[in-house]
Chains A and B, each alone.
Chain A
Amino acid sequence: MNSRPRSKLIHLLISKSIAEALLVTLVAVGFYLANSNPDLRGVLDEANGETINGWAVDEARPWTRVEVQLFIDNEFVADKNAAEFRPDVHKAKRAEDDWHGFVFETPALPAGEHEARVYALLPNAGGTRRTLQLIGKPIRFRIEPKQTRLGFPPQKGGAR
């Protein structure tokens, strides 16, 4: 193989590598944007033995109610729309109206440490996939032995 076609082949290989790197970047960014909502705002305010509450707003569509899911210790617990009365969120100019809060009743849990996470449910444009996006930060809370509503003695280490 002569020098000239060889150099052409090398240039072609370099160009192809650059084109594919750009494609991979484009797909990665597109995938991120398609499966997350940069306009989602929300906070998980409180989690305890009684309730788990907070608020969530989609700033791109502030008149809609965000669907949220509660997970405790990485297990699904409940699903609802963030449509509870939260005038403080409206007053802080984070929402267009007073109805973007969520309140979950804490389920019966064994005594010990637990972690609550609330996610917003995001459907993609085609409706073929749904993804979860964490709202605020997870909150760890403790159920005391006298608080447990399970009706049997609490296990060691707080295992469910």
Chain B
Amino acid sequence: MEYSRPENGESVGNVIGDRALAGWEITSVVSSIFIAEWIASVAVDWTRIFVAVPISLAFVLSISSHRLRGETARDLGLRFDNFLRAIGLLTLPMIVTAIICLAIAWLTGARVDFLRWHISRPLAVQLILGFAWGFVQQYMLQSVVNRRAQIIWGKGWLSVLVVAAIFAGLHLPNPWLTVATFVGGVIWAAVYQRAPNILALAISHSLMTWIVVSTLPASSLHHLRIGFKYFGSN
């Protein structure tokens, strides 16, 4: 078998198809997060800065990919025109999830405490920080992974389930958090495909984290630890 040697930089782009390239992007972003969670976080003291390397590389790749593909902020879901529509789509699943969480708390006898998310921080500050953290996660999950998954599998349940499975997988080995994030991943990915708005998703992310932390038994969530840190104490 003979392989043709690319003559210049342009011909390299013809070697890989659209779907394979999108799959490679998803794999690359997910592998960066896995590296941060599982390998770099074993570092202690000043070496914790290594965690920033794969995360920064993932952002460099994502932003470069948007630029090279000609995607605008509006395409990615950084917009206000569909904010209310996205909030409307999120409201019912959020209410249902909150009721389920309260029912689990009631059935298991867990103490419901809406102030326990962070003991030394006011709830309003924690909700704002939760929004910022949710914004970053939803940007990576929807604006990058969901959009590339749609290139491979198109809009619909298959790409939604893939996005949710990736989101859940990133929360391993924490079993109950993996289940909760799979459910959240399905809701957020499906809403994003109908009304792409990262701000609404970040608000939902922050509120749902608050509900889950306040209602589900603290022992089952294992302090929301994931990756290698799940097994450690620091």
Interface residues, chain A, with chain B CB atoms under 8 Å away: 1-13, 16-17, 19-20, 23-24, 26-28, 30-31, 124-126, 128-129
Interfacial chain A residues near B2, Cβ < 8 Å? none
Q: Kindly list chain A residues whose C-beta atoms are within 8 Å of the C-beta of B32.
A: 16, 20
Q: How far is the CA of A28 from the CA of B57 in the complex (A)?
A: 19
Separation in Å of the A24 CB from the closest CB of chain B?
6
A7 with B43, Cβ < 8 A, contacts A1-B68, A23-B53 known: no
Q: When chains A and B are docked, how far (Å) is the Cα of A8 from the Cα of B11?
A: 11
Binding site for A on B (CB under 8 A): 9-16, 18, 21, 24-25, 28, 31-32, 35, 39-40, 42-45, 47, 50, 53-54, 57, 60-61, 64-65, 68-70, 234
Q: Are B68 and A5 in contact (CB under 8 A)?
A: yes
Residues of chain A contacted by B11 (CB below 8 angstroms): 3, 7
Find out whether the CB atom of A10 lies under 8 angstroms from the CB atom of B12: yes
In the complex, what's the smallest C-beta–C-beta distance from A15 to chain B, in angstroms?
9
Interface pair A128/B44, CB less than 8 Å apart: yes
Question: Chain A nearest CB: distance from B65 CB in Å?
Answer: 6
Name A6's contact: one of B13, B28, B57 (CB within 8 Å): B13
B contact residues around A124 at 8 Å (CB): 44
Beyond the given pairs A8-B9, A20-B32, A31-B42, 7 more chain A to chain B contacts, judged by CB atoms under 8 angstroms and listed by A's residue number, are: A3-B10, A6-B13, A20-B54, A20-B57, A23-B40, A27-B39, A125-B45
Asked if A23 and B35 sit within 8 Å, CB to CB, the answer is yes
A-B pairs, top 3 by smallest CB distance, nearest first, are A6-B13, A7-B13, A5-B68
Contact A1 to B18, CB < 8 A, known contacts A9-B64, A13-B25, A23-B54: yes
Contact of A10 among B16, B54, B60 (CB under 8 A): B16
**B53 CB → nearest A CB, Å:** 5
With A3-B14, A20-B32 known as contacts, the answer to whether A8 contacts B24 (CB < 8 A) is: no
Q: Are B35 and A24 in contact (CB under 8 A)?
A: yes
Residue from A12, A24, A28, A31 in contact with B61 in the complex, judged by beta carbons closer than 8 Å = A12
Partner of B13, one of A4, A23, A31: A4
User: Is A20 a contact partner of B42 (Cβ separation < 8 A)?
Assistant: no
Contact B39 A24 (CB under 8 A): yes
Chain A neighbourhood of B43, CB < 8 A: 27, 30-31
Complex-state Cα separation, A126 to B57, whole angstroms: 28
Asked if B61 and A129 sit within 8 Å, CB to CB, the answer is no
State the Cβ distance, A1 to closest chain B Cβ, in Å.
6
A16 and B61 CA atoms in complex are apart in Å by 8
Cα distance, A27 to B51, chains bound together (Å):
10
Closest residue of B by beta carbon distance from A3: B13
